[in-house]
Amino acid sequence: MIQHGARVGDAKLWYDQAKKYFYLLVSLEIERTDPTLESHKQVIGVDVGIRYLAVTAASTGQTSFYAGKRVRHQANHYARLRKRLQQKGTRWAKRRVRRIAQRERRLQQQANHVVSKHIVRTYPRSLIGLEQLSDIRERTKRRKRRRKKKGKGTELVSRKARKSNRVYSQWSFAQLQGMIAYKAALAGSMAIKVDANYTSKSCPKCGHTSDKNRPQKGLLFHCQNCHYELHADLVGARNITMRALLLRQDWGKTGHLSVAPDASDKEAKALRLQRYSELRWSPEASPSRSTGRGD
């Protein structure tokens, strides 16, 4: 602590030492043993979103939903307040907008921290599958305008849809995945990433993939082929689980585990998607219930 009357040079020296100590703590590395197939028998998939910040599906059939209604309501409140302040345009209003932005970041960090901590504690010693979210905003652009019901031309989408677009674009999915990854490593689990293509459009029961499987992009998944119905986010989590199970199976056969898919090789990605289309959901196929290394 700097005492009253201390010189500016002493204060600067203290600040520099504190900064070096902080960076030392941040760069601290923890050595852990290499993961093995036997130590990660359970596999779970995590689907991230807005209505539910995360939905998990374990290979044993266990599921968990982490609702985002409270934080979504708070984010909408901040957005309305920020809009009113921006319309004023005064210096005080601009300072207020910056403080609101800081509150939003703390809200995201706290919510993501709580969810990631609970996931890692609920599924210890697990292989956790996450979606590869590179260019996710470009691949899932939200519609801003729609055709008029009567007459030519277009009009803005509903107020509810615009609000959903805003919240979706502001939430930090990558931060949540990053927290899950590093907390999993500290807890003896391991996070890997799989391709995100068609996870919410592919039927986990028959493999049929179509945009029509999610009517109006709602929360109900209805397969147009086998008429299988389930919560859409849970369908996504189960598809992620199956893809992580496939990687674990390859790990047992080759001794090599791919922690993230190579999106630059289009041919390799096409082969992976072909293998994914052949997967079928079955909790009985859990590695914790099998004895072979190849599952």
- Lowest-pLDDT choice from 7-16, 84-93, 98-107, 275-284: 7-16
Whether residue 294 lies inside any domain: the answer is no
pTM beyond 0.85, yes or no = no
- Asked, for residue 210, whether it belongs to a domain, the answer is yes
In a domain, 19, yes or no: no
76: in domain: yes
Tens digits of per-residue pLDDT, 203-218?
A: 999 999 998 998 877 8
Per-residue model confidence (pLDDT) at position 24: 47
Q: Is residue 10 part of a domain?
A: no
Q: Cβ–Cβ contacts within 10 Å for residue 98, how many?
A: 10
Amino acid at residue number 111: A
Please give the tally of structural domains in the chain: 1
Q: What was the pLDDT predicted at 290?
A: 40
Quick one: pLDDT at residue 144? Answer: 59
Q: Which structural domain, as residue segments, surrounds residue 221?
A: 36-287
290 token code pair: 């099998």
Please tell me which residue, 23 or 75, carries the higher pLDDT value: 75
Q: Residue 221 — φ and ψ, nearest 5°?
A: -100, 125
Angle subtended at Cα 106 by Cα 101 and Cα 109, rounded to the nearest 5 degrees: 125
Domain presence at residue 149: yes
Residue 191 has phi, psi (to 5 degrees) of -105, 135
DSSP letter, residue 58: E
According to DSSP, residue 34 is labeled P
76 burial class (0-12, 13-18, 19+ CB within 10 angstroms)? middle
Tens digit of each residue's pLDDT (9 = 90 or more) over 45-95: 999 988 899 999 999 999 999 988 888 788 778 888 888 888 888 888 888
In a domain, 75, yes or no: yes
Q: Which residues contact 13 (CB under 8 A, 6 or more apart)?
A: none
Least confident interval from 5-14, 24-33, 131-140, 141-150: 5-14
Longest CA–CA span in the chain (Å) reads 79
**12 found inside a domain:** no
| Cβ–Cβ < 8 Å for 177, 192 | no
